[in-house]
Amino acid sequence: MNNTCGVTVMNWVTLVGISGQAAQDVLALSSTNGKNPGRTVTVPHFIFSCADDYLLYALARGVVGIAGLGRTRVALPSQLSAAFTFPRKFAICLPAAAQPGVILFGKVPYDFLPGIDVSQRLTYTPLLKAPDVFPGRYFISVTAIRVGEKKVAINSTKLKINSQGFGGTEVTSAVSYTTIARSVYTVIRDAFVKEAEAINISRAAAVKPFDACFDATTVLSTRVGPAVPPIDLVLHNSKTIWRIMGANSMVRVSEGVLCFGFVGVDDEIVSTTIRIGGHQIQDNLLQFDLATSRLGFSSTLLGVQTTCSNFNFTSTA
C-alpha cells in the first residue's frame, strides 16, 4: 500500500466526515458474464482511502468499508471502467432480506434465476446533471406523482432543481427509507391513506419514524407485497412510470402492523425534495449508465418471480 496524501472521508449515512489517507493498492474482484461468477481479476493501482473504524457507525453489522458509486472520476465505476476499458455503466440490485445482493459493472446481461435477463426489462429515464452543491449524486426528473392511479396535487416547483441546486429527486442508498419534503409528503400520505381506507384497510397507531400505519390483518398479500394502492412516479414524460408496489411502499414494523414506508422531513432543513432510498429500491434492479447519462430501472422484480438475491453466486462461468 502506498499512502500519498490526506483526504476527507465521509460516511454518507451519518454525514460524519473525518481526515483520512489516500492510498493505492491491488483490488481483486470476481468477473462475470452476467449469468454467474467467473475468474478473479485485479486492478493494480486502485485508489481508495483509509479512516478510523468509528466512521463505520450506523452501517450494517459486518461492514468494513463504503464503496463509492458516485459520478466522480475516482469512484469505483470510473476506476473499473478505466482498468478494463468497458463503458462507465453499472447495475445495483439490493436484496430485501438478509441475503446477498449484486453489483454488476460494464455491459453484461443481468441474468437472474430462473433464467430471467432483467436487462431486457428495464425502462429508462435521463440522469440529470448533478447540482454543483451535490456533485457526484444521481438525480432524475419526477414531474408528477400518482397514488392509486390518481394524480396528487403537489407543488410542481418542488419537484424541480432550482437555481441554487435545491429541490428535485435523488436516487440514493444513503437513506434507509425515501425521504420527502413535508409539504409534498403530507399530500402523498393523505392520498394514500384515503385510497387505502377506500379498500377497507384499517388504521393503526403510528410507529416512528412513520406516521401512517395500518392493521396488517386488514391488508391482503400478493406476489408483489401487501395489496395497497400503487404509487407511481411519473418521470420525464407521461409514459415513463416508476411504479412502487406494496413490497416497497410498506414496512412491517410488527406482526400486526404495516406502515407507509416513507418519511416526511421539514422543508426548512431538507435540501432535496425527494430522496428515493434503500427500502424503495430493494428487489429493483437499477442500471446507472454514466456513458449515456441515463438510469434504467426494473420496478419490483417480484412481479417477474425473481429477486435480487437470485443471481447465481456459486457456479463458475
Quote the pLDDT of residue 73: 85
Q: For the chain, how many helices (H) and strands (E)?
A: 4, 25
Quote the pLDDT of residue 158: 94
Which pLDDT tens digit goes with each residue over 43-59?
A: 999 999 887 888 888 78
Options 2.40.70.10, 3.40.50.720, 1.10.10.10, 3.50.50.60; CATH for 2-95 is: 2.40.70.10
Quote the pLDDT of residue 4: 59
Say how far apart CA 317 and CA 311 lie, in whole Å. Answer: 13
Q: Spelled out in words, what is the top-level CATH class assigned to the domain 121-309? A: mainly beta
Q: Residue 178 carries which side chain, given as an amino acid letter?
A: T
Quote the pLDDT of residue 1: 53
Which pLDDT tens digit goes with each residue over 95-142?
A: 998 888 999 999 889 999 999 999 999 999 999 998 888 889 999 999
The whole model's pTM is what?
0.92
Q: Which strand (E) or helix (H) includes residue 181?
A: strand 179-181
Residue pointed to by grid coordinates 408496489: 245
Region(s) of the chain under CATH 2.40.70.10: 2-95, 121-309
pLDDT band at 278 (very low <50, low <70, confident <90, very high): very high
**How is residue 303 annotated by DSSP?**
G
Q: Which of 277, 275, 153, 265 is nearest to 210 (CA)?
A: 265
% of the chain with per-residue pLDDT over 70: 98
Statement: residue 317 has pLDDT above 70? no
Q: What is the mean pLDDT of residues 13-34?
A: 87
Quote the pLDDT of residue 316: 58
Q: Residue 213 carries which side chain, given as an amino acid letter?
A: C
pLDDT band at 37 (very low <50, low <70, confident <90, very high): confident
Which pLDDT tens digit goes with each residue over 159-183?
A: 999 999 999 999 999 899 999 999 9
